[in-house]
Amino acid sequence: MTAIMTLAAAVLMALYGGGWPVMVAATVVVAAVAGTTFPDLDQLLPLGHRSALTHGILPVLALAYDRRFWPVAAGLGLGLGLHLAADLFPNGMRGYATIKLPLFGSIGRGGSYLWIAANAGLCLASGAWLLGQVAAPRVAGATLVAVGVLGVAYLLRTDGGWWALALFAGLGWLALRWG
């Protein structure tokens, strides 16, 4: 429920923040906080844990439909990407940990790993792209640093987070090495 309230706050910030750079950055960060827990709303709904509806890019796309909500979509994408990155490393990819499609059930172990990895990448990439569209480069950079700190804090305390953090560190090192 906290994710819904935090996301609602980000939506209100986007609507009434006046487009000021600090408000845009704050909106993205607040939405990213919501995104780290948003996927698990499926446990409160009759969807089953790890529903494809909440554990994927669909919520980001729904918000990105209206340009006024692009800062919210950016933050949600970054937060969802962090959550999904941690979900790549469950204790075991079976039963509760697999992705469920509405009306069809689990997509199995291999399909779940593929779904989570693809959607984590799509969420992070779309979040970064949307942020670049709504914020000047310096504001976007500072916002990414803030979300990065949030991401490290989130990943250090969540199951699978240490492995996801190691993966991000390795990808970051490769980007710097060959970029």
* 158/179 Cα distance (integer angstroms): 30
Which residue did the predictor score with more confidence, 118 or 1?
A: 118
pLDDT tier at 171, thresholds 50, 70, 90: confident
Q: What pLDDT, on the 0 to 100 scale, is given for residue 179?
A: 60
What percent of the chain is predicted at pLDDT more than 70?
99
Instruction: Say whether pLDDT at 45 is over 90.
Output: no
Q: What is the pLDDT of residues 115-147, one digit of tens each?
A: 999 999 999 999 999 999 999 999 999 999 999
In contact, 28 and 75? CB cutoff 8 Å: yes
Predicted structure pTM score: 0.93
User: Cα separation of 97 and 163, whole Å?
Assistant: 16
Cα 68 to Cα 168: distance, rounded to the nearest angstrom: 30
Average pLDDT of the chain to the nearest whole number: 91
Higher pLDDT, 1 or 133: 133
DSSP single-letter state for residue 51: B
- Copy the structure tokens of residue 155: 């990943």
Q: What is the pLDDT of residue 55?
A: 95
pLDDT band at 168, cuts 50/70/90? confident
Rounded mean pLDDT of 29-54?
Answer: 90
DSSP assignment of 72-140, as one string? HHHHHHHHHHHHHHHHTS-S-SSGGGS-EETTTEE-HHHHHHHHHHHHHHHHHHHHHHHHHHHS-HHHH
For the cut 80, the answer to whether the pLDDT of residue 1 exceeds it is: no
26-45 in b/e form (b: 16+ CB < 10 A) is bbbbbbbbbbbbbbbbbeee
